[in-house]
Each structure stands twice: as C-alpha cells, then as structure tokens.
Amino acid sequence: MVMNASREHNRSAESRLTGGATLKPGSGLFPLHLRQCGQICFGDLAVLMAVAEAGSFRRASTIANLGQSSVTRRIQKIEDLLGVSLFERSPIGARLTFVGSRFVDNIRAISGDLCVAVRTAQSAGVSSNGQLRIGLIASLSLGALRELILTFVHKYPDVEISFTEADRSDLLTRLSHRELDVLHAAGCLSENLGDTLMLTQEPIYLALSDTHVLASKCRVLWSDVDDATFVVSTLEPGPEIRDYILRQVSNLGRQAKIQQHRLDREGIMNLVGLGLGISLVAEHWTGVAYPNVVFRRIGGDDERIPFSLTWRPENDNPALRRFLSLARVHAKAHAAPS
C-alpha cells in the first residue's frame, strides 16, 4: 500500500510538470541526447520545481504530498547526476545557487513547451479545434484573403491561426517541410510545388504623393508615368514589382527609371509620401493608410495580378481542409477560375 501510494504521488507530481504527458526517456525512440537524460524523471523535476518555488524542503514536501526525506533524496539524486549543487541549504530554507537558478529556468521553459505541444496535438484531433499556419507576402488590410480569414474565424473560432511573412523561397521551404499549411502569394506556382487554387485577380494601383501632379486623376495610364522615377524594395515582392514595371514601360519604347532600396513596404511608401518617387501595389495594399500617399488605379480593366493559395496535397490537417473548402467558395465569388 505504501509503495502504491508513493507511485501515485510520483505520477501526480509528474503530471503537474508535463500537463499529463507520459514519456519514457529510456526508450530507443528517443534521440541520444534525450536518452542520456533518462535517469532524471519528470517526477523528480516536479519536486525540484516545488522546492525552488517554496524555498524550503519542508514546505515543498507538503506541496508535493511527499515525505521530507523523499524530497531530499530526489534533489540529491538530481545534483549527483548533474555534478553540481542546485540549492544552498540553511536552517531557514533552501536557496537556489546560480547554476540551480539557470537549471530551473530551463526546466520551466521546457515544461511549458511540452505542455503546449501536448495540447496542440490533442486539439488537432478534435474536428472543431486545431491549428492553421498561413504563409503570406501580402497585406490583410483589404481583399479576398482578408474576407476568407474573417469567414473562417467566424465559422471555426476554436482553430488557432498563425501567420508567417517572409520571402517566397523561405515560405516555400517551410511549406515543403510542413512548417506551413498554406501559402498565399501572387501568381500561380508550379504544380511541382503543390496543389494550387486561384483565389482572386486584383487590379493594380499607383502609389504617389498627394502633391503629385497625377494625384488629381481618378485613373492613370502607363504613358503618364513612362518617365517617372519608381521606388521599389529589394525585398519581396519588390523584385516582382520591378520586373512588372520594366515590362510595361518597355512596351512604350522607354527605359524605366527604377530605384531599389533595402526597405520593407512601409519604408517604400514613406519614400513615396516624401515625393521621392512613385510605386505600384496590388489592390489589397490600398487598405493601408500612409502619410501623404494616395492610390490611383493604373492600366486597363484587364490589367490584373492573380493571387493563389498553394498547399501540399499530402497535408491531412483538418483545419486546412476546412479552410480550402471556404477558399473555393470565395474564389467563385471573386470570379477567379480554380
């Protein structure tokens, strides 16, 4: 009976540390660096945390519902395995050493990450829960993607959504390694990179200073800006914008004047607002207000940029499947062929 009670106390302390997870560090399934830690069990670490928080072996034994001698043995076991003293003992209590403080901080972080990992895995198996990881090179201020996400959040409020903004190469790498579920970007990516869905096609807008001579126009032609100075970023999607400007201006028999800056989109818009040049944006960027910057439609009615979603077909994330189902409905609403 005493042995069974002791095992129950150990499981209880371990559960508090891991959020209910039961792991076997001695298993061959664990990497070598984890197997080397196999002699330290979660129950002992939970007791260690109790002593650190209580500042006393006696008070920790009460919290952990263990005998004081058992608490002492567990702490000594960890110290012997590590080869360092974790506590300074005194008649009035136990104080963490410098090494002990660092060790407890690391254990606290690890236990927090483990609890999050367990909860995430558990929630993914529930149809109404889960996680959706979206990579993008876009603004969520306006447009089809914003509408889609609003609909998804309203319909599936328990799904956790995370966003990653980076250059296309980085996002594609993350997508292939299942660090992202879906990627939203301009154009239609190769079928070799995954399944795709055309979400929408957006008109193009010219960003210019509110004091610019063309600011009074409702619509601008490319012939109006064939000798203007464009400012674009060297970062995504700056290179694509640069190539597009070169094509459009060269069609008029002119050579485009383009200045490239290592600035993000906000930095480029600030240059536009200062009157240092003009730039291009897709429609969804016009939902963002920048100082002294106005947006005017440029080109003909058929001058649009396609935006698509790309995902890996083998990804069986239920949240992704629900997201794509809604995306197809939105694509049809925006008259985008799928």
- Give the pLDDT of the chain (338 residues) as one tens digit per residue: 433 444 444 444 444 444 444 444 444 444 544 455 657 788 888 899 899 988 999 998 888 888 999 999 999 999 988 889 999 999 888 999 999 999 998 888 888 777 767 766 665 555 456 899 999 987 788 889 999 999 999 999 989 999 998 888 888 898 988 889 999 988 876 777 789 999 999 999 999 999 999 999 999 999 999 899 999 998 888 888 899 999 999 888 888 999 999 998 899 999 999 999 999 999 988 888 999 999 999 988 888 888 999 999 999 899 999 999 999 999 988 764 44
Residues 6+ apart with CB under 8 A from 139: 265, 284, 285, 287, 288
C-alpha triplet 271, 275, 279: angle, nearest 5°: 60
Please check whether residue 195 is in contact with residue 316, taking contact to mean a CB–CB distance below 8 angstroms: no
pLDDT score recorded for residue 170: 87
Q: Which amino acid is at 184?
A: H
- Per-residue pLDDT tens digits for 210-223: 999 999 999 999 99
| CA pair distance 100, 154, nearest whole angstrom | 47
| CA pair distance 79, 98, nearest whole angstrom | 14
Cis bond upstream, residue 237 (ω within 30): yes
Domains of the chain: residue spans and CATH:
2-124 (1.10.10.10), 131-199+307-333 (3.40.190.10), 202-305 (3.40.190.10)
Q: Which amino acid is at 90?
A: S
| CA pair distance 181, 311, nearest whole angstrom | 6
Please check whether residue 63 is in contact with residue 69, taking contact to mean a CB–CB distance below 8 angstroms: no
pLDDT score recorded for residue 284: 87
- DSSP annotation of 27 reads S
| CA pair distance 73, 87, nearest whole angstrom | 13
| CA pair distance 186, 236, nearest whole angstrom | 11
User: Residue 289's closest CA among 141, 73, 67?
Assistant: 141
Q: What does each C-alpha distance from 302 to 187, 202, 298, 306 come to in angstroms?
A: 15, 10, 11, 11
Both tokens of 251, joined, read 């069609």
Task: Look at the block and give the residue holding tokens 């109790």.
Answer: 50
Residues 6+ apart with CB under 8 A from 30: 24, 38
Q: Which amino acid is at 267?
A: G
Chain centroid, CA 295 distance in Å: 30
pLDDT score recorded for residue 1: 40
> How close are the terminal C-alpha atoms of the chain, in Å?
67
pLDDT score recorded for residue 121: 67
| CA pair distance 227, 101, nearest whole angstrom | 65
Please check whether residue 182 is in contact with residue 320, taking contact to mean a CB–CB distance below 8 angstroms: yes
Q: How many helices (H) and strands (E) does the chain have?
A: 11, 12
- DSSP annotation of 278 reads B
Both tokens of 248, joined, read 């459009």
**What is the value of pTM for the model shown?**
0.58
